[in-house]
Structures are given as C-alpha cells and as structure tokens.
Structure 1
Amino acid sequence: MKKLVLVFTFALSTVFSFAQNEGITITVTVDNLTSDKGVVAFALHTEDTFMKGAGIMNAESKIEAGKVIITFKNVQPGEYALLGLHDANENGRMDYRENGMPLESFGTSNNVMAFGPPQYDDAKFKVENEDLDLNIRF
C-alpha cells in the first residue's frame, strides 16, 4: 500500500511539474499597419539582449488587411520587452534614411515612441502567472 501511495504521489508531482514548465503565452497584435507588403517581425528580449541582436524568442508573420497577430508560447515568468519591425522589403533588418531616421515602421511594448533608440526601462513588462494580450502600435 505504501508503494502504491508513493507511486501515485510521484506521478502526480511529475504531472504538476510539467504543467508549471509550460509557461505563459504572450499574444501580440498590431492593427495599424499602413501596408500589407513584407512581414512584421517581433523579438522578445531580456535586459541583457535588448538592442543587442536577436531576442530570446523571435517570430514573424505576414500582414493581412493591415494587421498581424504573433504568439510567443511557453514564456517563463520574468521581466521582458518586445521590439517589433515592419520589414516591408523583407531584407531582415531595419532600413534607414541618410540622416539616420528609420525608413520602416517599428514598435515596442508599452507603445513608447521617443526620439532616439528604444530604451529597455520604457518598454519592459512583467510576465507572471497569466497569459498576456498586448496591442502594439507602429
């Protein structure tokens, strides 16, 4: 009987540990795109990766009727920021004018639009124990 209880307890704890590792889902919607050309790409960043290259999770989507929905699954609790780019010519990078101003639209979590490059402290948000739905403006 003790063995049966131990096996049942072990099985139950294993199931709950797998459920806890699944993480949170972040659904990002952009609904103000001015063109359906190209793709929208998003990168989920920690403070260590922000503005330094690829995020810890990356996703992209084709644009339909000026709108995209991108989902990040199995995100562990913590602090993050999102960077998004409308890559109209699908060259995989942000294009700039001669004066350094972006040619393609972009957005960040918290919809902070300031002069100069985005800052992590302005764009950061917390992932805790509930799925998140974020609307980001470009």
Structure 2
Amino acid sequence: MKKLFLTFVLGLTTLFSYSQVEGITITITVDNLTSDKGIAAFALHTKETFMRGEGVMNTESTIEAGKVVVTFKNVQPGEYAIIGLHDVNENGRMDYRENGMPLEGFGTSNNVMSFGPPQYDDAKFKVENEDLELYIRF
C-alpha cells in the first residue's frame, strides 16, 4: 500500500511539473558599445513601469570587446519595452551634460532614436509563444 501511494504521489508530481507553463526567453545583443568600461544594464518594462523606475525584470553584464549578450528568462506573454544603459561609471543611473544631453550610451527595443526621452509606444513589442532575439543599438 505504501509503495502504491508513493507511486501515485510521484506520478502527480511529474504531471504537475510538466504542466507548469514556462515563459519565454528574450536574448538581447548589443555590439556597438564604445568601451569595455562599466556595465551594460537592461530593464524589461510594461507600459506602467516604463521611464518610472525599475523594470519588471532587470539584468546587467560586463562588456567584452564592445559587446554584451543578456537574457530575460521566463517572461510571460504580453507587451513590453526594453531600455538599456551603458553605465560607464557604475553609479546606477544615466549621467547628463549641463544642457540635458546624455553622457552615457543608451538604447531601446526597436532602436528608435529621437530627441528627448524614449517613448513606450516606439519601443514596445509583443511576447507571444516563441523565444525572441533582439538587437539593440546604443
């Protein structure tokens, strides 16, 4: 009886572990960083979090030969935008010149560059049922 019960529990555990829906992986590549100094930091945002602080997921990486590859794992389907920053002095924020222009490189998903701060509608993309590979220019 004990053996039958353990077999039943093991079967249920296996069934539930396979039924858990694993999210999508988003791989981001940036290959035009101006130096290997500092870190490259990335934030995955929803419309509600975009340009308002931390993303729903955040990651960072060291830079080698002007290139970085990072991933966001287990992302659930929905609409998102990514902001990336080359934080040269590793102070955790974007630095600006006196005239308001950025001192450090940055980029967004869809690579839309405009005067002024990035806009969510320009950077948004959909996560559906396949892993994504995005290339962002800084």
* Normalised TM-score (structure 1): 0.89
Residue 26 of structure 2 corresponds to 26
Using the aligned pairs only, state the percent identity: 76
Residue 53 of structure 2 corresponds to 53
Residue 14 of structure 1 corresponds to 16
* In 1, Cα distance between equivalents of 2:35 and 2:11: 55
RMSD between superposed Cα atoms in Å: 1.8
Residue 119 of structure 2 corresponds to 119
Q: CA deviation at 1:11?
A: 5.7
Residues 84-118 of structure 1 show CA distances to partners (whole Å, capped at 9, x for unaligned) of 00000000000000010000010000001000000
1:133 aligns with 2:138: no
Gaps of 5+ in 2: 1-7
* In 2, Cα distance between equivalents of 1:124 and 1:34: 25
How many residues are aligned here?
132
* Normalised TM-score (structure 2): 0.89
1:94 aligns with 2:82: no
* In 2, Cα distance between equivalents of 1:31 and 1:46: 25
Residue 3 of structure 1 corresponds to none
Letter of the 1:137 counterpart: R
